[in-house]
Amino acid sequence: MKKNMIIAAAVLASAVACTKEIEEPSALDGKVQMSFAVSTEQTKTVLEGANKTLWTGVEKLSIFDGESNNLFAAELATPSATAEFTGKAATAQTYYALYPYNSAAKLSGTTVSTELPAVQTATKGTFDPSAALLFGTADGTSVSLKNLTAMLKLTVPANVTSIEVDGNGTALAGSVNVNVESAELSGATASKVTLSGNGALEEGTYYIAVTPATVSGLSVKLIDSANSKYILRSVADARTLAANTIYDMGEFNASDWVAESEQPKEDAQIIFDDAMQNSWIIGGNDGKYSIKDGIGKDGGKGIEWVLDASGNWARVLTFDLPANTDISGYTKLCFDIEYVNSTFEATWNVFTNRVYGDGFELFYHATAPDKEGWHTVEMPLNDFTIQSGTKDWTKFKTFCFHTNGWNAGTATVHIDNVRLVK
């Protein structure tokens, strides 16, 4: 374990931006030129010594004056713990600072809304500056910024193209809110965070920013350049990820690579995949589904489901298990989905997933993103709402996928790796 590591906030990679000119803040009526001396707190770390955060190159942050979000910028020739940020803002009693600058961030009452990216850019030895959320309240002309996120540290072998962190149903990124009084994050929306670069990553250490949270489990998945092998490491026990703290997820070795076809799926009960197509009975009221070769996530068999506006309840896809099957030991239903084509708006792509058993009915809503490529949808079993009867997983019979709110347009989707996960 290397000690006394220095992480440059915002980040070492941004040093290449030194040649860029600072954008001049707009001269708006009612705003005056001002400067703030901005510093950052020291980062606590698990298993290592203290880490110092430094400004370097061209840096930009948001200053909120109560009326608007204002761009403030600094340029540093050498890394420094303190930087002078200059810009224009309205005269106010209190100023709040958010790093990095986000033109879409808004202050409403005591809450600043911003974004912690669920897809982050990998840079060896450091973290994505767009994910390094810092916040502080001005004390006169000085601001001390607090690190809002927790950092996951991973040491990976060569030939990795992406790193996926799964919070096991706990949101780790996405749209977030900052409480200006406590300087704490809340309201995250994405349970998975992906770190990737331009091609395969170099062997070395990387960092992923996540929201502070208590997770019931955590998994890290490394995917190789051919998308044919991966390394999966899971932490089953509950733990709390605290702000301003680095958590070492350990070293991943090249000898740990496992072929996609040989890797067990998350200690799962497989409902449908390329190897177990007949374990469950697949059906649908409209017959607009089929099992086809070459359309699955891994290039094998997958389910093609054609959707249109032909009646709300006609658009269903069911998976039946033999009666009296106990699934009480599982925590969530997962499936992979790919939109081949769609004229539906993304906000309409909502699945109502119903569970039927002897004497009970449950339902759950989940949005399947209408984006390019494969995406995993997770439905925690504890979040299924009782519709009728008494919940009894030993009498479970059927999962029913139903598209809700699609009243116009068409779509073709591919579904694969439908599974119950422990």
Each residue of 371-393: pLDDT tens digit? Answer: 567 778 788 888 888 888 888 87
Q: Which residues, listed in sequence order, are joined to residue 290 by a DSSP beta bridge?
A: 304
- How far is residue 156's CA from residue 251's CA, in Å, rounded to a whole number? 6
Q: For residues 210 and 172, is the Cβ–Cβ distance under 8 A?
A: yes
Query: How many Å apart are CA 304 and CA 293, to the nearest integer?
Result: 10
CB within 8 Å of 169: residues ≥ 6 apart: 191, 216, 331, 332, 378, 380
C-alpha distances in Å from residue 361, one per residue of 214, 275, 357, 394: 30, 30, 6, 13
Are 192 and 165 in contact by the 8 Å Cβ rule? The answer is yes
| 133 band by pLDDT with thresholds 50, 70 and 90 | very high
- What secondary structure does DSSP assign to 150-200, as a single string? EEEEEEE-SSEEEEEEE-TTS--BEEEEEETTTTEEE---BSEEEEEEEEE
Query: What pLDDT is recorded for position 193?
Result: 94
Confidence of residue 157 (pLDDT cuts 50, 70, 90): very high
Helix (H, G, I), strand (E, B) or coil at 254: helix
Least confident interval from 3-17, 167-181, 289-303: 3-17
Kindly state the DSSP code that residue 51 receives in the 8-state scheme.
Answer: B
Which domains are delineated in the chain?
Answer: 12-259 (no CATH), 268-421 (2.60.120.430)
pLDDT(275) > 50: yes
* Residue reference for tokens 């899971």: 234
pLDDT at 184: 95
255: Cβ–Cβ under 8 A, 6 or more apart, which residues?
none
Q: In what order do the strands lie in the sheet with 150-156?
A: 44-45, 245-251, 150-156, 204-210
Q: What whole-number percentage of the chain has pLDDT above 90? A: 31
305 vs 288: CA distance, rounded Å: 6
Q: What is the pLDDT of residues 72-98, one digit of tens each?
A: 999 999 888 899 999 999 999 999 999
Residue 177 banded pLDDT, cuts 50, 70, 90: very high
99 burial type by CB count under 10 A (0-12 exposed, 13-18 middle, 19+ buried):
buried
Residue with tokens 């499936």: 335
pLDDT at 351 over 80: no
SS3 395: helix
Q: What is the pLDDT of residue 306?
A: 79
pTM reported for the whole predicted model: 0.58
Looking at per-residue pLDDT, the higher value among 52 and 258 belongs to 258
Nearest to 189 by CA among 57, 50, 378, 340: 378
Instruction: Round the average pLDDT of the chain to a whole number and report it.
Output: 78
Give the pLDDT of residue 255: 81
In this predicted structure, what is the pLDDT of residue 409?
A: 63
Rg (CA), the chain: 24
pLDDT the model gives residue 160: 92
* pLDDT classification of 369: cutoffs 50, 70, 90: low
Q: Which pLDDT band, with edges at 50, 70 and 90, does 301 fall under?
A: confident
pLDDT for residue 92: 94
Q: Residue 137 above 90 pLDDT?
A: yes
**How far is residue 297's CA from residue 338's CA, in Å, rounded to a whole number?**
8
79 prior amide bond cis, ω within 30: no
pLDDT of res. 337: 83
Q: What percent of the chain has pLDDT over 70?
A: 76
- The whole-angstrom separation of Cα 364 and Cα 388 is 13
